Amino acid sequence: MPAPLYLSLHALDFAAQSLVRLRPELRNRPVVILDGDPPLETIFALNDRSRSLGLEAGMSRLQAESFDGLALCPRVREQEESAFTTIMKCGEKFSPRIEVLASPEESSSGATLVLDVSASERLLGTPEQVAILLRRNIDIAGVEVSIATSSNAYAAILAARGFRGITIIPPGQESRTLARLPLTVLELEPEHQETFTAWGIKTLGALAVLPENALIARIGQAGYRLQALSRGEFQHLLVPVEPSVDAILSESTELEHPVDLLEPLLFLLGRMLEQIIVRAAEHTLAIAYVETRLILEGAPRREHRRVVRPALPEANHHTLLKLIQLDLEMHPPQAAVIGLYMLAQPARPQTGQQELFVPQTPESGQLEILLARLRKLLGEDRLGSPELIDSHRPDAFRLVPFAPHADAASLATGGGIHTSALRMFRPPQVVRVEMKSSRIITLFLDGKKLPVHKASGPWKTSGAWWTNSSWCREEWDVTLGEHKSLCCRVAFDPGASCWYLVGIYD
């Protein structure tokens, strides 16, 4: 079994860094991030220049305003979340197992991650090479971090919190490396902080050499944990972040000049869609639907929204882009476009095992393109799957978007339930019927005179008399022939005084 190796990165004053990342003019100024309800805001985060002036977290806004040249900025969680997402993406390039120990929260102004890079030396290089490459990637994103590596997860975490730059802890040197760090890297409870201050304990090295039994007797089992942390011996079970399947993927771009032609719009949409599919493929996911938002020129601000929803999750770039093209050709924007937004819902791809003697079915993506082309030619209301309407009217149905059933296999085999099916004639066949005492005795079908063995009916139905599509009919179920093998349904239309063969039972 390979030796464990952990890499931890810590961004000090992360809230302030996320602001300066988007506002470069504040890099050389003391910056303070305020949080809370005005006028009772307090300092949530600050950079090194503010700290050198004597400012501290928790000070009130009034105290901060007494310092000259200070940039007072409100806390913007969207900026912090965006910067934190950038750090996570950089970390995911080196390891899929990442645990978040501190992120943009109410009580934390820093960000701490720990990566499991065990058994990856042949792929990524030595621990020092991995740390240098990771820090270079994050520096490009505009965030300054401290990085430490160790065979003990929490030793790497404490070293990243306490040392600036890159720290490499060789195996067996954890206690010696952490000895000079202050106790503040442990994030102590207030009562423990008061106790250690009264004892004169200020560093991890001083805590590590205390008698273990006496320490536990005075402050309980927390003393055992804190001393194990200070020695770099605490065993931490890594709980990696699991990607959320329901997380919406998005891309956006603003155009320098309005665009009113579909071809350049499709070029831009294709680039955005490609980025979304790549991000979904990193987690072995496909796309359930794509929503396209086109920001139109003019005031007030208008959006042209269209949603493409394949019957099955699709991962093919050409198929999704073709569906978007056909949809926009049917529903073009009514003005020039100045901005593009694309949202996509990832989902688990659905795969099916073909049976040996079953004909090959078309790919779902090709079927979707065919349906989109037919929809463009015929109209959206003339293509889909038939769905029965809760009505007494014969043949009453409507068209709904095509979607395969999840239990299509059981429907194909009948699911173990055998039922009779009425095969309808469209249009119904005109037949001649002989009756006696209001009962059907003979039916003439295809030039043959067939005696009626048994008849059930009539069932009289009518409706929609208040519209032009009113209907009224009488129906019978009859068995024909000497062998009683043919069962069918006939109907009489009083308005036309005509008999019809509606269908045959299978």
pLDDT tens column, 5-22 = 999 999 888 888 888 888
Read off the tokens for 366.
Answer: 């090709």
Question: CA–CA distance from 189 to each of 182, 194, 205, 230 (Å)?
Answer: 15, 9, 19, 15
pTM of the model: 0.57
**For residues 135 and 142, is the Cβ–Cβ distance under 8 A?**
no
| pLDDT band at 311; cut points 50, 70, 90 | confident
CA distance 369 to 378: 14
CA distance 76 to 79: 6
- The CATH number for 309's domain is 3.30.1490.100
Over residues 97-156, the pLDDT tens digits come to: 898 887 655 455 678 899 999 888 888 888 899 999 988 888 887 888 899 999 999 999
The pLDDT score that the predictor gives to residue 321 is: 94
Q: Are residues 27 and 124 in the same domain?
A: yes
Is 435 a member of any domain? yes
Determine the average pLDDT of the residues in 266-291: 91
Percent of the chain with pLDDT over 70: 92
Q: Are residues 282 and 398 in the same domain?
A: yes
Q: Are residues 398 and 428 in the same domain?
A: no
Q: Are residues 171 and 186 in the same domain?
A: no
Does the pLDDT value for residue 443 go beyond 70? yes
Q: Are residues 300 and 209 in the same domain?
A: no
The pLDDT score that the predictor gives to residue 287 is: 93
Total count of domains within the chain? 4
Determine the average pLDDT of the residues in 311-337: 92
The pLDDT score that the predictor gives to residue 244 is: 67
Q: Which residues fall within 8 angstroms of residue 161, CB to CB, at 6 or more apart?
A: 10, 110, 112, 146, 185
Question: Taking the mean position of all CA atoms in its chain, how far away is CA 466?
Answer: 49
**Residue numbers of the domain that contains 431:** 422-505
Q: Residue type for 455, please?
A: A
CA distance 127 to 133: 10
Does the pLDDT value for residue 167 go beyond 90? yes
Instruction: Give the H/E segment covering residue 86.
Output: helix 77-92
Q: Are residues 45 and 112 in the same domain?
A: yes
Read off the tokens for 172.
Answer: 């067996």
Over residues 373-417, the pLDDT tens digits come to: 988 888 887 888 888 888 877 778 888 877 665 544 444 444 555
Is 43 a member of any domain? yes
Read off the tokens for 351.
Answer: 């795969």
Instruction: Give the H/E segment covering residue 281.
Output: helix 262-281
Is 227 a member of any domain? yes
Is 239 a member of any domain? no
Place of tokens 């520096």: 139
Q: Are residues 31 and 166 in the same domain?
A: yes
Q: Are residues 303 and 449 in the same domain?
A: no
Q: Are residues 342 and 279 in the same domain?
A: yes
